[in-house]
Each structure stands twice: as C-alpha cells, then as structure tokens.
Amino acid sequence: MRIIGRLDVKNNHVIKGIHLEGLRKVGDPQELAVEYYKQGIEEIVFMDAVASLYNRNNLFHIIQKACEKVFVPIALGGGLRSLDDVSKALNAGADKVVINTALVNRIDLAKEIAQKYGSQCLVGSIEAKRENDSWRVYVDNGREPTKHNVVDWAIKLKEAGVGEILLTSIDQEGTSKGFDIELIKQINESIRCPIIASGGYGNKKHLADLLKIVEPSAIAIAGSLHYKKDTVSSIKQEINSLFIQEKK
C-alpha cells in the first residue's frame, strides 16, 4: 500500500480545511513536496483547490519547479478540462492527471485521455458525501452535489478508461477521525481498479482499522504531515508492521 502526500493549493499556498471548507494556509507547496520526498513519500498529488471555479489550473509552474528536486511520481489535478490541458500538465512534469468535474460534465473525456496517453495516466477523482445509506458525488472541491451515486459513478469511470480512483470522503476529510472504511470497501468490491483512500487519517490506529477490513492500493495523507503530527517513515513502519502481524 503506497503512501501519497496530498497538497491542496490555493494562490501558491498549501491549504487545509475540514470537510473541504474553512481553508487555512499551512505551507509552501514546493518546500513541503521536497520535505515529504526526503521522508520517503512514494507519490505526490498537487490539487488546485479553486481551479474548477475559474476554469483553469495555476499549478503548472509549481510542479515544474518541484520536478527539479522531487523524483517520485507527481499527479496534478484541478481545472483540467481537455486533452490540451492534460498535455500541458504532462509537459510541465506531471506523470498523471487527476480529474473530477470535467468527467462529470463529459465522461467521454476519460476515453479520449486513455486512448491518447494510456489509462495509467488518468486518475478519476471522486468527492463523496454520505446521504442516508449511500454516497453522492460532489464536484468543484466538494461545493456542488451531482445526480450521481458514488458506487455507480465509480463503475462508469472504470468503464470509461480511468486507471485509478482518488476517493475522498468529504465527511471525514480534515477531521483526523479515521477513514470512511465502509465507503472504501464498497468501491473496492464494486470495481477492479486501484483506489487511493483520502480523507480522515489522524493516527496509526486508523491504519489498523482500515487494513482489518479493506486494503486500498494507496492512502493519501495531508494534515497529519502538514502539521507534523506524523512522518512518512513512521507511517511506513506501521504499515509494514501490520502486514507482518497479518502473515503470522
């Protein structure tokens, strides 16, 4: 299970909130990327938190700089709406693109990206919020609800050519109260597609709770690293320890 550092960026600052709201500045994106790389992070996701509002991504220059010092896969998301946008992201140094709103607006974009660049290049982002016994898909950084049920939408994304899914629980995001394990389990059982679980990690007990039930391909961590409550190396050690215990 990979550990991914998630950097949500607004106006050249890494920001963090709760339930994707109440955002506060927590650091410089390039400095944090380098710090997490030195700690042993396996991938970094840069998300432009306001790009969908303005129909553009402003992070191309940031990842260009980051690529000079960070030598792990980099994914870029936010405001990417066309093949041309994807091309710009890849030319700037991204290995993958992360797309939510544009796929909800036009699912065929996934097929076009997969055909031109390969499924491994495309991460479908799902922002999920619980409604009674299911979850609804949200867009625009958790601001706008859609008509889509999360499980049904995940299936459609996979069928359209998405190679991986970044699954963010809006309910758990920023709370440090643990992952939405039921949500992750349902998606994992519904599709054969790598899942990045995002939203809720707060301490190492949450890893044990998660891995007892389901093993996503990766977890995305933000606040616990930004606020120095944890380190990449200590999280890796805990994951390895849990896997060793499981095999005994």
Report the catalytic residues.
Answer: 8, 127
Q: Which two tokens stand for residue 199?
A: 């939203």
Q: Minimum mean pLDDT among 12-21, 152-161, 198-207, 213-222: which range? A: 12-21
Give the domain extent around 149: 2-247
Beta bridge partners of 129: 136
Q: Which amino acid is at 187?
A: I
The domain that contains 151 carries what CATH number? 3.20.20.70
| Cα dist from 125 to 14, 101, 114, whole Å | 19, 8, 15
pLDDT in tens, 170-183: 999 999 999 999 99
Alpha-carbon span 161 to 112, nearest angstrom: 9
Contact 17, 23 (CB under 8 A): yes
Contact 17, 70 (CB under 8 A): no
Non-local (6+) Cβ contacts of 102 within 8 A are 80, 81, 82, 109
Rounded average pLDDT over 130-145: 92
Q: Is the pLDDT of residue 246 over 70?
A: no
CB environment 153-192: b (16+ within 10 A), e (fewer): bbebbbebbbbbbbbbbbbbbbebebbbbebbebbbeebe
Single out the residue of 1, 57, 4 nearest to residue 168, CA to CA.
Answer: 4
Q: Is the pLDDT of residue 55 over 80?
A: no
Share of the chain above pLDDT 70, in %: 95
C-alpha gyration radius of the chain: 17
Q: Which two tokens stand for residue 185?
A: 């389990």
Report pLDDT for 50. Answer: 80
CA geometry: angle 52, 2, 131, nearest 5 deg: 50
Q: What is the pTM of this model?
A: 0.94
Runs of H (alpha helix) within 40-171: 51-54, 60-66, 83-92, 101-105, 108-117, 150-160
Number of domains the chain is built from:
1
Q: Which two tokens stand for residue 168?
A: 């963010």
Single out the residue of 206, 202, 197 nearest to residue 225, CA to CA.
Answer: 202
pLDDT in tens, 66-111: 999 999 999 999 989 999 999 999 999 999 999 999 999 999 999 9
Secondary structure class of 56 (helix, strand, coil): coil
Parallel, antiparallel or unpaired: strands 195-198 and 13-18:
unpaired
Alpha-carbon span 106 to 60, nearest angstrom: 23
pLDDT in tens, 3-48: 999 999 998 899 987 877 667 899 999 999 999 999 999 999 999 9
